[in-house]
Amino acid sequence: EATAISPLTVSPSTMTRGEWARATIPVWIQISEPVARSISTAGARALGDTIPEDESATAAGAFAALRRLGGTLFSLQLGQIIGQLSGEVLSGGDIGIPLLDGILEHELRAVLIPQNISAFAEGLDIPLHDVMLYLAIREIAHARLFKHSKWLKLGLVASITDYANGISINAESMRAAMSDIDLSDAEALRRLVSDGSLIPPKTDDQVIALTRIETLLALIEGWVDVVADNAAHRLPSRHAIAEMVIRNRAVGRPGEKALAGLIGIDARPRRLREAASMWRALDAAVSAEERDSVWAHPDVMPTSDDIDDPAALISRLSGHVAPPDAMDDAIRRLIDEDGTVDGN
């Protein structure tokens, strides 16, 4: 058995590109709204700084209109990116961000996009049926994980939204950017909103938050890799297909890069290969049930340090105590000699 996690209660389904785009819009709006709001507010403030004080009252309507314009431009660009992504994604869980709601709040739908899978398989010397089967196994594993781990979906989306809430575009940056373009040029305004140049450098807190998001995404994808490989062990082409999936994720598709420029978040799991190696080490050392127990709660999840060296995690899951080091031995000798550490 590839995993001890219970199966899905709803059968996987297929979607067209348009159906995927429409179904994912609510989550895209949720995670991008903080950036859209910041851009609109900064644009209005930048314009306000150029208006004489005695004209500020009459300009109030213009400020409101500019805020609406900023929001409209952002929404149009987001819609364009969603449309682009709809032609690239292979399945519901392909991007990493939980986009397709299941029956319950914490669940995801298992979905394949056959049109995109056919295009993906064109460059492979592998039967389309094998590619479809392997990707279906991956998608089912992904959806089963979210069904089992009730905190995972809400926690991941909340982390991404919190990170986006920390993005604050100041009026000075907006004013400098606006001074270089023709404000009547809709295409120039669209590029200004979408090319990422308005997103300020990350704060220390944002770097920590982004690292946490990337680690969680890598743990999810790495687990799916290992479980799918185990489940598809009778499929001779599984390694070749898996390698192409990993390359796609590592390089990043055009739509993913555009999304990163728009909302300041790159959803690619940068430590995917290292995380998959950690899961393989666990797979070889403990049972599937012990391996999957870490998804029960965020407090027992593997850390970035565990990805680097899973030995301590393996010891914890297998019930083994790590051998004492020299400091442990010295403290134990003091206790044995004196009864307490300080001799009292």
Per-position pLDDT tens, the chain of length 344: 689 898 888 888 999 999 999 999 999 998 888 888 887 777 767 665 555 555 555 555 555 666 676 677 788 888 989 999 999 999 999 988 899 988 888 899 999 999 999 999 997 899 999 999 999 999 999 999 999 999 999 999 888 888 888 888 777 777 787 777 776 777 777 777 777 777 888 888 888 888 889 899 999 999 999 999 999 999 999 999 999 988 888 777 888 888 888 777 777 777 888 999 999 999 999 999 999 999 999 999 999 999 999 999 999 998 854 444 554 555 455 555 554 444 44
pLDDT reported for residue 152: 95
Report the chain's C-alpha Rg in angstroms: 25
Q: Is residue 150 part of a domain?
A: yes
> Residue 137, class by beta-carbon neighbours within 10 Å (0-12 exposed, 13-18 middle, 19+ buried)?
buried
Q: At what angle do helices 238-251 and 204-231 cross, to 10 degrees?
A: 170
Q: Distance between CA atoms of 34 and 50, rounded to whole angstroms?
A: 25
Q: Is residue 326 part of a domain?
A: no
pLDDT reported for residue 259: 82
Q: Is residue 327 part of a domain?
A: no
For residue 180, what is the DSSP state?
T
What is the rounded end-to-end Cα distance, in angstroms, of the chain? 55
pLDDT reported for residue 341: 42
Count of domains in the chain?
1
DSSP run (H or E) holding 143: helix 128-148
Q: Is the pTM of this model over 0.85?
A: no
The answer to whether the Cα torsion of 99, 103, 108, 114 is positive or negative is: negative
Q: Is residue 6 part of a domain?
A: no
Q: Is residue 316 part of a domain?
A: no
Number of CB atoms found within 10 A of residue 54's CB:
7
Strands 13-14 and 111-112: parallel
For residue 151, what is the DSSP state?
T
Give the closest residue to 263 by CA, choosing from 21, 30, 17. Answer: 30
Q: Where are the alpha helices (DSSP H) in 1-98?
A: 17-48, 60-86
Q: Is residue 334 part of a domain?
A: no
Measured in degrees and rounded to the nearest 5, phi and psi for residue 111 equal: -140, 140
Q: Is residue 344 part of a domain?
A: no
Are residues 167 and 264 in contact, defined by beta-carbon separation less than 8 angstroms? Answer: yes
Q: Is residue 274 part of a domain?
A: yes
113 lies in which domain range?
13-311
Q: Distance between CA atoms of 102 and 23, rounded to whole angstroms?
A: 11
